[in-house]
Structure 1
């Protein structure tokens, strides 16, 4: 996020401080599953790649990057949009200025599904991450599906349970110190994103997150559904629901290792609905 310097003078005393300038871009965060035709149309429209510029696919979440690029680009090729290309990076490689420039100047950046931990392991703290933010600041549409949705949060759900290492698609408990959180891309700093939400009944997971971190809004996005984030405004796009949880009372209670909270707010939004994030 860019910063501008402000000089504030009161009487004969002047102070210099920095004010963050909001990004010019938008986020298109997909909960996984299929992408309905209208959803792809909306990505094309919001990014403007049907008129000028180009889009790139970042497939580093996937264990098979070439396949991820193929399926991601095909949804645009089927619409006659051929100016979308894959751009893969490997952990530890020195990224060329040309590849970094391709990210920062892209009108659409699309992050594939797979494993959000794998994606962040490649890009965290690198010029790749900075280039994605630069594109967003300058007006690009940053999109992602499934794992590509989870990485949008500063506090990223990894999908792992700390107390129950055997994998389950949903949490069985609302339990203290069980949800694993790691740093994500940070496109959203006050929101935790969860995906495949209604389809995989991930309520316990997101409840655990917003009770454990009451200052964060939890947004659970179902499959074939997305949120379009423009500043503080959010629109639901697709065919299913978005569940928003807020621990507005900043309440966290415990009984042994079980989590509790009072005064929480839960809303279920449908396609076309809008809401605000702080």
Structure 2
């Protein structure tokens, strides 16, 4: 796929005809008038109707606005777009568009306005590294942030969940690249890079219980004692509004917190006493502070 494109002709006309003008006014507003949006971070796996409807309701989509899919994390964007549009249309939302930005291509102003004005930006799964390779440091990333700062929702699943935090798990083992899983708790094995940065005081992991990613996140907890490390299981999400977090979905969210304690080292092996573990279920709430 060589060209960026926007799905749905009516959607394109709406943005060009109305969205561009309204956004020019919004960008010139003082920062103090901006209203921070919400995050809806899904741990991957199946997305039951109850989860999608929760996302729709939290975003306020039933009162108007549109969804914009950004499928750059996957090598199969057409399939991700089709699946993403269906999950919304099956639950009563038909105003869904998509842009598959291509790395190195300059986005048009109409495309950027599509991003800025979306009531819900949805990032499907794939590779978080691929997604950030397209958007990091670009006008696309700025437009995503402008949408969030205008009170809209940014949502994602799997790789789309990993990109939400400032420190993003890449999935790469630095010390044991040929191993199939994180088999040890040691310093310097789990690679982190920059994500979108909507969450600055926590690290997000996904598919957490199903794929037994405890070693990976426990290692990061000890290496980053001032950050909460949040593992979100499949078919489950956290809704983040400021520092307030609510759990929705079918499984669990685990939060590890070293509470600022410095790790001990024996060689590369890590150790910390009394790490705090909380396991949250649907409807539970906690703070990121």
The two structures have a TM-score, normalised by structure 2, of: 0.87
Partner of 1:37: 49
SS at match of 2:62: coil
Q: Are positions 1:202 and 2:213 aligned together?
A: yes
The two structures, once aligned, show a CA RMSD in angstroms of: 1.7
2:100 matched residue in structure 1: 88
Equivalent in the alignment of 2:141? 129
Partner of 2:161: 149
Answer yes or no: is 1:237 the counterpart of 2:281. Answer: no
Q: For residues 263 and 35 of structure 2, what CA distance do their matches in structure 1 show?
A: 33
1:120–1:240 Cα change, 3 Å: same
Partner of 2:189: 178
In 2 relative to 1, CA 251–139 (structure 1 residues): closer, same or farther, beyond 3 Å?
Answer: same
Instruction: Determine helix, strand or coil for the equivalent of 2:273.
Output: coil
Task: Say whether 1:256 aligns with 2:256.
Answer: no
Match of 1:27, SS state, is strand
- Tell me by how many angstroms 1:23 deviates: 4.7
* Cα distance in structure 2, aligned partners of 1:166 and 1:242: 29
Write out per-residue CA displacement over residues 3-23 of structure 1, whole angstroms, 9 at most, x where no aligned residue. x99xxxxxxxxxxxxx98885
Are 1:249 and 1:263, in contact at CA under 8 Å, matched by a contact in 2?
Answer: no
Task: State the Cα distance separating 1:200 from its structure 2 match.
Answer: 0.4
Q: Within the alignment, does 1:28 sit opposite 2:25 as a pair?
A: no
Residue 235 of structure 2 corresponds to which residue in structure 1?
Answer: 224
Gaps (5+ residues) in structure 1? 6-18
1:270 corresponds to 2:281: yes
Q: By how many angstroms is 1:177 displaced?
A: 0.7
Structure 2 matches for 1:67-86, cutoff 5 A? 67-86=79-98
TM-score using structure 1 length: 0.91
Question: Which ranges in structure 2 are unaligned for 5 or more consecutive residues?
Answer: 1-26
Match of 1:8 in 2: none
Give SS of 1:148's match: helix
- Could you tell me whether the CA contact under 8 Å between 2:228 and 2:257 is conserved in 1? yes
* Structure (1 or 2) with the greater helix fraction: 2
Return the structure number with greater strand share: 1
SS at match of 2:265: strand
Is this contact kept in 2: 1:214–1:247, CA < 8 A?
yes
Deviations 1:40-67 (A, max 9, x none): 1111111122221111000000011111
Q: Retained in 2: the 8 A contact 1:112–1:145?
A: yes
- 1:171-217 Cα shifts (integer Å, max 9, x gaps): 11111110100000001011100000000000000011111111111
For 2:216 and 2:32, how far apart are their aligned partners in 1?
A: 32
The SS at the match of 1:181 is strand
Secondary structure of 1:114's match? coil
